Amino acid sequence: MFKKILIANRGEIACRVAATARRLGVKTVAVYSDADAHAKHVMACDEAVHVGASAPKESYLQWQRIIDAAKATGAEAIHPGYGFLSENEDFAKACADAGLVFIGPPASAIQAMGLKAESKRLMEAAQVPLVPGYHGADQNPELLQREADRIGYPVLI
């Protein structure tokens, strides 16, 4: 169990992560932009670090500032919430490189799931039920016609 985590998000998701962490006895660090200095998620955490201007690209998407904030506050892990950096494989790798735990899937899974064709192949290999479809690379019109007949109409192309 971690002693302290940084929550790299804002709003309701950050509040929920903070509440859960508190129930588990884990200290929390919020990050905030100029616009969010007095936001509920900032007040819900034990500590808060300013990471930039109001625009997300100047604050919540500045992953090096977020990693620096985690290290400066002694956080052992970063919870990305959803959106922003939660699906950024470079951020997940940077957390690991900085000696921080990324509370989420490994960078390799983020990368694989970000590529629709690769994620379908992984799910097929794991025998996860999928919507019927053709997932091959061959785009020959006759083959595509046979596949459409096999799948059944209507089809989405």
Q: What mean pLDDT, rounded, does the chain reach?
A: 93
pTM of the model: 0.77
Q: Indicate if the pLDDT at residue 115 is higher than 70.
A: no
Task: Dump pLDDT digits (tens) for 52-104.
Answer: 999 999 999 999 999 999 999 999 999 999 989 998 999 999 999 999 999 99
Q: Which fold has domain 4-111?
A: Rossmann fold (3.40.50)
Domain boundaries, the chain: 4-111, 119-151
Residues 6 or more apart whose CB falls under 8 angstroms from that of 139 comprise none
